[in-house]
Amino acid sequence: MITEKDVQDLANLSRIKLSPNETQALMKEIGSILTYVDEIKKAPVGDAEMSQQASVGVIRNVTRDDISRDISSETREAILNAAPDREGDFVAVKRILS
Amino acid sequence: MKKIDIAQLTIQKAHDAMKSGDFTAVDLATVYLENIKKLDSEIHAYLEVFTDVIEQAEAADARFKDGTATLLTGIPCAVKDNILIRGRISSCASKMLEKYVATYDATAISKLRAEGVVFIGRTNMDEFAMGGSTENSAFGVTKNPHDVSRVPGGTSGGSAAAIAANMALISLGSDTGGSIRQPSAFCGVVGLKPTYGSVSRYGLTAAVSSLDQIGPITRTVADAEILFNAIRGKDVMDGTTISETTYGEKSASKNAKLTIGIPRAFMKLGGISPAVQDAFAAAELRFKKLGYTIVDVDLPNNAFALPVYYIINFAEVSSNLSRFDGVRYGFHKDGTTGVEDYFESRAEGFGREARRRILLGTYVLSSGYYDAYYNRANALRRLITGDFNTAFKKVDILMTPTAPSPAFKIGEKVSDPVAMYLEDIFTVTANLTGLPAMSIPAGMTQVDATGNPSIPLAVQLTASHGAEKVLFQAGKDFLGE
């Protein structure tokens, strides 16, 4: 069972603020979703299956040259301007040490 | 203005007409823009119609004049809102990225741009590609053009509705667990989820990196094939991309008698509606008449596919969405401290389903549950893939319905996440295994009392890795193209 505290802990780890109402709603919803995905506990999976690496499709080596790409000053400006707060060529954030 | 019958138009027909001078790319774009003006205030397939469509079409016309036009030059294309177009907003239908302007083209876009495709606008979707109805958009619901009281499917609902309502000739969607195929089924159009890695994901905002693929939504199989061939290919910017030879050349000769496998035991789990059952039986019969051999196949681990899919989905979504912190780009809301900025920005920037999946992903990846959920899901993912690979030693194609029921009513499943997830039962396996799968129209049904409009039905064909050509051949046979 998922408790209110579990939901609050998950929200803290996820850096998402939850209202008391949403915490209650999520407790129910997450509970029913976990009950549903718990189906996989019935699956015949042994140690051998669990020890293999995950992959999608064929495994192959992928390499590319280690070269830097030129970014135009216009693109650089656009990226910096996308920041909610900017000071000169820096992205500005609140002070983290007091 | 030229009269153009856009309801019957294909890429080839449009190309021939523009080449012979029957109409120009500007004429064609104008017809689509008029149609959008007429229909989209109700359908809401587009989040934005670009203001430079006519300029793009003029550039395409210039290529017809100077002889550099290709098959896709001047073809009007709608683009899902999670695929980046340089200088354009790409919001993923989220408040988080409402004002985000892309600084580069996705590889699929730059390939189409090089061909002179005309980008009409960006289409609505479920926020960050999570949902099955396009009701999770932060910017309003898209309606099914066949019956506006119903959903268009999702998450690429806008791209599918735009094709069904003739508001673009072709469109791009993305498919994480059925997000191209299910809306294509609901809207009565063709949708292809290519082999994992065949289309670059560079510039596609990641939802579930090991499942996501960009693919075409079109009205004909031939158009899907043209668009797929234009966007596919190895890309140095996406290490998971494959070349045409990665899985060996796979094609079906025109006269080959193909074998279709039907996983009947698995289909019994799907809660298939009577209308879909009838359409499926009719499709089976049609393939038999066309000379295809039909056999039963067993996919024993498929029973676990949907929970496996959702565990992997939650896990990867929670990781991929962690980059949205309200600091470098995207929505920002002030808290009293730097850390609180994150909490406030993410609470308000993400919609309900995104928040729910981030929490669920955090849960299944937490140290106490990692083995029980995430690792176990990955082990099952391998077993499921093994079942499919075994089946493809016997058959060329697997056929199921695309979705268990036709398009449902707007609001019907919004309050029950598990009911919404069950919509994906037949589509998620192609993503888990990386196999190519295509939804093709298979008739219409009148869902309730007479007087209501008919809505589309569909079947889904899945082929082995890299065997899109087999899907195109069977799809063309089936639709008589």
Identify whether the C-beta of residue B459 lies closer than 8 Å to the C-beta of residue B270. Answer: no
Q: What is residue B245's predicted lDDT score, i.e. its pLDDT?
A: 86
Q: Indicate the pTM of the whole model.
A: 0.96
Q: Which of B34-43, B74-83, B270-279 has the lowest mean pLDDT?
A: B270-279
Q: What distance in Å separates residue A23's CA from the closest CA in chain B? A: 10
pLDDT at B250 over 90: no
Asked if the C-beta of B103 comes within 8 angstroms of chain A's C-beta atoms, the answer is yes
Secondary structure (DSSP) of B225-260: HHHHHHHBS-BTTBTT---TTTT------TT---EE
Identify whether the C-beta of residue B354 lies closer than 8 Å to the C-beta of residue B323. Answer: no
Taking an 8 Å cut-off on Cβ atoms, the answer to whether A37 and B325 are in contact is no
Q: What distance in Å separates residue B18's CA from the closest CA in chain A? A: 36
Instruction: Find chain B residues with C-beta within 8 A of A97's C-beta.
Output: none
Asked if the C-beta of B337 comes within 8 angstroms of chain A's C-beta atoms, the answer is yes
Between B255 and B380, the more confident residue is B380
Of B161, B43, B213, B154, the residue nearest B420 (C-alpha): B154
pLDDT at A64 over 90: no
Q: Which of residues 123-142 of B touch A (CB under 8 A)?
A: none
Q: What is residue B255's predicted lDDT score, i.e. its pLDDT?
A: 59
List the beta strands (DSSP E) in B347-396: none
Rounded to 5 degrees, φ, ψ at B214 are -85, 145
Read off the pLDDT band of B85 (50, 70, 90).
very high
Q: What distance in Å separates residue B363's CA from the closest CA in chain A? A: 7
β-strand B76-80 against B170-175: which pairing, if any? parallel
Q: What is residue A54's predicted lDDT score, i.e. its pLDDT?
A: 65
Instruction: Find chain B residues with C-beta within 8 A of A48's C-beta.
Output: none
Taking an 8 Å cut-off on Cβ atoms, the answer to whether B380 and A38 are in contact is no
Q: To the nearest whole number, what is the mean pLDDT of chain B?
A: 95
Q: What is residue B418's predicted lDDT score, i.e. its pLDDT?
A: 86
Q: What is residue A1's predicted lDDT score, i.e. its pLDDT?
A: 81
Q: What distance in Å separates residue B313's CA from the closest CA in chain A? A: 12
Q: What is residue A48's predicted lDDT score, i.e. its pLDDT?
A: 78
Residue B376 corresponds to which tokens in the numbers above?
């176990």
By CA distance, what is A65's nearest residue in B?
Answer: B236
Rounded to 5 degrees, φ, ψ at B54 are -65, -40
Taking an 8 Å cut-off on Cβ atoms, the answer to whether A30 and B376 are in contact is no
Alpha-carbon distance values, A31 to A24, B28, B189, B363, B368 (Å) = 11, 52, 37, 11, 17
Asked if the C-beta of B197 comes within 8 angstroms of chain A's C-beta atoms, the answer is yes
Q: To the nearest whole number, what is the mean pLDDT of chain A?
A: 90
Q: What percent of chain B has pLDDT over 70?
A: 97
pLDDT at B431 over 70: yes
Instruction: Find chain A residues with C-beta within 8 A of B325's C-beta.
Output: 15
Q: Convert the pLDDT of each residue in B392-418 to its tens digit.
A: 999 999 999 999 999 999 999 988 888
β-strand B118-123 against B76-80: which pairing, if any? parallel
By CA distance, what is B87's nearest residue in A?
Answer: A78
Q: Convert the pLDDT of each residue in A19-60 to its tens digit.
A: 999 999 999 999 999 999 999 999 988 887 887 766 666 778
The interface predicted TM-score (ipTM) is 0.94
Q: What distance in Å separates residue B473's CA from the closest CA in chain A? A: 23
